[in-house]
Amino acid sequence: MIEVIRIPALSDNYIWLVHEPVSGETAVIDPAEAAPVLAEAARRDWRITQIWNTHWHPDHVGGNAAIKAATGCFITGPKAEADKIDTLDATVAGGDEVALGDVSATVLDVPAHTNGHIAYHLPREQAVFVGDTLFPMGCGRLFEGTAAQMFDNMRQLATLPDETVVYCAHEYTQANGRYALVAEPDNDALVERMERVNAMRARGEPTVPSTIGEERATNPFMRATSIEQLAERRSAKDVFKG
């Protein structure tokens, strides 16, 4: 089984360090910056061999060059955004596979936050690295894509097994949950989840990863029944001040 380590970065980013113990390979998912990644890998005596990018935003690729310079790692990212990520060694799109030692990941096309956004699904390990597409009780802003694309993304991700662990790239849970309670005030599972989230944040604890099952039960964007409803909820969340 893989080992996954959460590395806080910048103001609210999470970088994921994924270690495959049989081969000794280690991948970095969406390195916002290099220093904390290199320090954590050195502390664990892990050899970084790969970087997987989900999209081009600087807080997801900012550490690429320095990590590559320090380790000689191989960098993979979205084919549709190759012109925006100048450190890539290989490009992938939906249906392609990437490997980390004995572990295989299927690439999912999940455009909307950016036009070429992808996710990495590791079915055997019951894990998915979603970048800025799916958050606990939230979804990514529609910077380059459409509500229709995000609706399709939510439907696609909702088909994964409930036990699938969702590794996103930001600590947005509490703010997302406040809006979710407005969108679905009668959702008892959501009310209970927010009580847990508030207690965790009061203790200074991270709230990610989550699971597909949790999102199916409490995420108003994954639970949207139409493109129009998702669009309305996304627009409302964009201006929500609660």
Could you give the residue numbers annotated as active site?
A: 55, 57, 59-60, 113, 132, 170
Largest Cα–Cα distance of the chain, in whole Å? Answer: 52
Measured CA to CA, the distance from residue 144 to residue 222 in angstroms comes to 19
Which structure tokens are listed for 228? 């129009």
Answer whether 166's CB lies under 8 Å from 130's CB. yes
Going 6 to 162 to 148 to 241, the CA torsion angle's sign is negative
Kindly tell me the sign of the dihedral angle through the C-alpha atoms of 109, 90, 75, 89. negative
Cis peptide before 78 (omega within 30 of 0): no
Taken as a whole, the chain contains a residue count of 242
Distance CA 152, CA 142 (A): 13
DSSP secondary structure string for all residues of 129-156: EEETSEETTEE---SSS-HHHHHHHHHH
Interatomic CA distance for residues 216 and 178, integer angstroms: 17
Pairwise CA distance, residues 234 & 43, whole Å:
41
**Cα(74)–Cα(189) distance, rounded to whole angstroms?**
42
